[in-house]
Structure 1
Amino acid sequence: MRYILFNDQLVPRDTPTIDIEDRGYQFGDGVYEVIRVYQGKPFMMHEHLVRLYRSAAEIRLSLPYSMEELQTKLEELKQKSPVEDGMIYIQISRGVAPRNHGFPASTVSPQLVAYTREMKRPQALFQSGVKTILLEDIRWLRCDIKSLNLLGNVLAKQAAADQNCYESILHRGELVTEGSATNVFMIHKGTVYTHPASNLILNGITRTQVIQLCQEKGIEAKEEAFTVEQLLAADEIFITSTTNEIMPVIQVNDNVIGQGKPGLLTIQLQEAFEQMIN
C-alpha cells in the first residue's frame, strides 16, 4: 500500500480528499518542490526545502511546520512508501476558504500534500541529446517563486511536444531566460554561460550545482544573460533540472548545435555530476 503525507499525517493514498475550495485548486495559490531520490536516498533535500520556504515567504504563506519538522515527515513518508530511483513531490496551498481573491483569515491553515513516485533517469537522452524550440517567454515576472501557477510553462512544454521536441527555450525579446521546466546553459569558447538568478528565472538546485562543478573543474562559468543569436552560435548547449540533471541540447529550431551530439565540456560536467550523486 502506498502512503502520502497529508498535512502532518501519513495516510493511505486513497484516503484524503481535496476540498473544492482549496486555494491551490481554484487560484494556484501555493508552492511546490520536487526532490530527486537516487538509490533510495533523497538528493539535496535541505536545499530544496530552503527554496520551498523561500517561495512560501515570497507569497506571504506562513507554513505551520519548521523546516526540520517537515524534513522528518518526508523521511517518514519515504520509509512508508519507499522509492529507489524517483522523486518526492511536495505541494502546499494557502488552505480551504470561501472563494475570494484576497487572502483568507489567519485562522485558515495551509494544506500540505506529499508523495513519492518512481522515476527512471533518462539515460538514453543523456547520451543522444535532445531537440528544442525557441519560444517567447510570456510568463509572469516572478519566475523565481516555485508556485503552482504553471500554465505558461505547460503551454510552452506542449508547444515543444507539438513539434516533436523535448523542451522550449524561452526568451524575453532577444534575451534567453530559461526553459519551460529547465535552466539553460550555453558554452562558447570554453566558457559556460547561464542567465543570472533573478526574478526572470527559477534558481534551480541543479543549476547551482553545475556552477559549483565548473568552479571545481576549473571551467570558467559566468552568470550572464545572452541573446538568442549567441545561443544559436554556441559551441554547446545543455539544460538542467532536478529530473533532467544535465541534458545536452543538440538542436534549437532548425539549427544544429556543435556537431549535433553532446559536446566535450557537457560530457565532462555530466561525469562530474554522476560522481557527486554516487
Structure 2
Amino acid sequence: MARYAYVNGRYVDHREASVHIEDRGYQLADGVYEVVGVRAGKLVDETPHIDRLDRSLRELRIGWPVSRNTLGFIIRELMRRNRLRDGLVYMQVTRGVARRDHAFPTAPVKPSLVLTTKTTKHIVADPGPGVAVKSQPDIRWGRCDIKTVALLPNVLAKQAARESGAYEAWLVDAKGCVTEGASTNAWIVTGEGELVTRQTDNGILAGITRHTLKSICNSLQLKLVERPFTLAEAKEAKEAFITSATSFVTPVVKIDGDPVGDGKVGATARRLREEYVRFSDEGEAVT
C-alpha cells in the first residue's frame, strides 16, 4: 500500500515528499511541530495538541497556513489514505520559503505545512518490565516551552542514552534538578506517596499527556506536587516514570544504572498507565 504525506496543499507519495531548499525550517529551524497519537483509529487529546500548536505559532509569530478546521480535515484525510489505526500524526509548520536571512522575511511569505503519519504497535495497559534512563546535562535554549523543530540538544541527549543502553535521557540543569526527558516529561513518586513533576515554565514543554495525567491523578485522589526535584532525589524515589504522546505512561526502573525503588514496576505507575490507556480508548473516532 502506498504511504502518503501532505505537503502544502497536496497529498503526495511519502517517498517523493519534499520542501524547497530555502524553507526556513530546513535552513534555520524556524518552525514548530506537533504530534497527536492515534489509538484504534481514534485521535488522542486532539484539541489540546492543536491548542499547543497554536500557542507555539503565536510565540514565534508564524501565521496559520490553513484554518484550524481545515487542518482537522487534512489530519483525517491523511489517516484515511494511510489506513492509520495505531500510531502518530506528525505536523510541522515553518515560516515558509524565503531568501536566507536570520531576520524575518520583509515580504509576505506563506507558512509551509507538512503532515506525515507513522504506524506503531497497539499500546497495552501492561507496562512490561519498565525502562532505564540516563542523566545528561540540559544544554537547551531558554524557551523549551515552545515546541520548535530545533531539537539538536535533545537528539544528542537521546543518542547518549541509547549508546549507554537506556531508553531515554533525563536532562539535568545547573542546579542538579531534572527538567524533563529528551522527548518526555519526568515524574517520581516519593517514599510518602507524593507524585512529583516539575512545574510548567520556560524550562520544559507543557506535555499534553502530562496535563491529562494530572486530571487522572485528581480523579484518583492522588497527591500531586509540581516542583523541581533533583537527580539525587529521583534516585532515592519509590517510583519513577515518563509520559508523552508516544510513551503514554512508562515506568522507569533504572536511573544511570541504579535501580529505582526495588527495581521493578511500581503500583502507582502501573495504575496510572492503566487509567491513561482507558482514557485514550475513549478518544475521538475518525471516519
Question: Shorter-chain TM-score: which interval?
Answer: over 0.9
Q: Deviations over 1:153-211 (max 9, x none)?
A: 00000010110111111111221100001000000111100000111000111111111
Q: Distance in 2 between matches of 1:252 and 1:233?
A: 10
Q: Report if aligned partners of 2:126, 2:270 keep a CA contact under 8 Å in 1.
A: no
The corresponding residue for 2:177 is: 175
Provide closer, same or farther for how the CA distance between residues 7 and 242 of structure 1 changes in structure 2, counting only shifts above 3 A.
Answer: same
The corresponding residue for 2:270 is: 267
Tell me by how many angstroms 1:46 deviates: 1.3
The corresponding residue for 1:187 is: 189
TM-score by length of 2: 0.93
Q: Report if aligned partners of 2:130, 2:265 keep a CA contact under 8 Å in 1.
A: yes
Q: Report if aligned partners of 2:124, 2:277 keep a CA contact under 8 Å in 1.
A: no
The corresponding residue for 2:253 is: 250
Q: Distance in 2 between matches of 1:254 and 1:137?
A: 19
Q: Distance in 2 between matches of 1:77 and 1:166?
A: 30
Q: Deviations over 1:49-93 (max 9, x none)?
A: 111111111111111322222112211221222211111110111
Partner-residue secondary structure (3-state), 1:127 = coil
Q: Distance in 2 between matches of 1:266 and 1:111?
A: 39
Q: Distance in 2 between matches of 1:121 and 1:187?
A: 27
CA RMSD for the aligned pairs?
1.5
Q: Distance in 2 between matches of 1:158 and 1:17?
A: 26
Residue 209 of structure 2 corresponds to residue 206 of structure 1: yes
The corresponding residue for 1:35 is: 36
What one-letter code is carried by the residue in structure 2 that aligns with 1:3?
A: Y
Q: Report if aligned partners of 2:196, 2:225 keep a CA contact under 8 Å in 1.
A: yes
Provide closer, same or farther for how the CA distance between residues 106 and 74 of structure 1 changes in structure 2, counting only shifts above 3 A.
Answer: farther
Tell me by how many angstroms 1:3 deviates: 2.1
Q: Distance in 1 between matches of 2:279 and 2:170?
A: 27
Q: How does 1:18-97 map to 2 (within 5 A)?
A: 18-97=19-98
Q: Report if aligned partners of 1:8, 1:73 keep a CA contact under 8 Å in 2.
A: no
Partner-residue secondary structure (3-state), 1:128 = coil
What one-letter code is carried by the residue in structure 1 that aligns with 2:81?
A: K
Q: Distance in 2 between matches of 1:56 and 1:155?
A: 25
What one-letter code is carried by the residue in structure 1 that aligns with 2:178?
A: V
Q: Distance in 1 between matches of 2:265 and 2:122?
A: 17
Aligned residue-pair number: 278
The corresponding residue for 2:285 is: none
Range that drifts further, 267-276 or 9-18: 9-18
Q: How does 1:64-143 map to 2 (within 5 A)?
A: 64-121=65-122, 126-143=127-144
Tell me by how many angstroms 1:122 deviates: 5.9
Q: Distance in 1 between matches of 2:101 and 2:165?
A: 40
Q: Distance in 2 between matches of 1:265 and 1:16?
A: 43
Provide closer, same or farther for how the CA distance between residues 15 and 256 of structure 1 changes in structure 2, counting only shifts above 3 A.
Answer: closer
The corresponding residue for 1:166 is: 167
TM-score by length of 1: 0.96
Q: Distance in 1 between matches of 2:263 and 2:55?
A: 39
Tell me by how many angstroms 1:105 deviates: 2.9
Q: Report if aligned partners of 2:125, 2:273 keep a CA contact under 8 Å in 1.
A: no
User: Which structure ranks higher in relative contact order (CA pairs < 8 Å, sequence separation ≥ 6)?
Assistant: 2
Provide closer, same or farther for how the CA distance between residues 133 and 124 of structure 1 changes in structure 2, counting only shifts above 3 A.
Answer: farther
Q: Distance in 2 between matches of 1:93 and 1:120?
A: 30
Structure 1: 5+ residue runs without aligned partners?
none
